[in-house]
A and B are shown apart, each in its own frame.
Chain A
């Protein structure tokens, strides 16, 4: 158990809809990262937050947004969903410092129909 909690585990929704993915980081971790993994592909970095502030942005679509709340949990909002958004969305957390590994949650499997 990595200590990172993601909900829900699975999400099935229709095109054009909006969903929210939730992540609770490990206790003590201030950084939260979101990654997208499409079928049988590598992990694509979406966005990073540190203690409530956005730190880095990857190839995140304008239809996607995220935030980190004062209690450090984070939410990833996906809107105007398209079939191509179907993927496994991972949240990871870490303490500050490049040596510290990222600890990943079990992911949210999003299926857009």
Chain B
């Protein structure tokens, strides 16, 4: 079974600075997808960014980018120019793309990192 580990329960960053949240995963599959979700105090789950394992290029979405290291099974999230609205729990998630798992497309989540923005 796949596992996702977020080793930083809490992080803080000064407003306008850059912060990196870590995520590692364990899988024997070669085809999969990785996601970062944000959960603000409202408790909504909001997709931040996603990465296909077969793509070497790191995904970017405005101020959010990832550092995907497939061999190391690492998928970190970098937030640039941090804003007060970025304060939230951030969850890393794994989804199998293996054809043998077709139809079983659940997301497996890490335990989350609580990000605090210091004004």
Q: Bound state CA distance, A45 and B95, in angstroms?
A: 12
When distances are taken between beta carbons in the complex, the residues of chain A under 8 Å from B96 are: 98
Interface residues on A, range: 20 to 34
**How many Å from the CB of B110 to the closest CB on chain A?**
6
When distances are taken between beta carbons in the complex, the residues of chain B under 8 Å from A45 are: 106-108
Q: Which residue of B lies closest to A106 (CB)?
A: B44
Q: CB of A56 within 8 A of chain B?
A: yes
Q: CB of A19 within 8 A of chain B?
A: no
B105 touches A94 (CB 8 A): yes
**How many Å from the CB of B55 to the closest CB on chain A?**
11
Q: CB of B25 within 8 A of chain A?
A: no
Interface residues on B, range: 20 to 34
Q: Which residue of A lies closest to B42 (CB)?
A: A106
Provide the B76-119 mask, 1 if CB < 8 A to any CB of A, else 0: 00000000000000010001110001011111111110000000
Provide the B26-66 mask, 1 if CB < 8 A to any CB of A, else 0: 00000111010000001111110010100000000000000
When distances are taken between beta carbons in the complex, the residues of chain A under 8 Å from B109 are: 42-43
Picked from B42, B46, B97, B104, the residue with its CB within 8 Å of the CB of A99 is B97
B106 touches A43 (CB 8 A): no
Given A31-B105, A42-B110, A45-B108, answer yes or no on A98-B95 (Cβ-Cβ < 8 Å).
Answer: yes
- Interchain Cβ contacts under 8 Å between A and B, 18 examples: A2-B44, A33-B106, A33-B107, A41-B111, A42-B110, A42-B112, A48-B105, A56-B104, A96-B105, A98-B105, A99-B33, A99-B52, A101-B35, A101-B47, A102-B107, A103-B47, A104-B46, A106-B42
Top 4 A-B pairs ranked by shortest CB distance? Answer: A104-B45, A98-B97, A56-B104, A42-B111
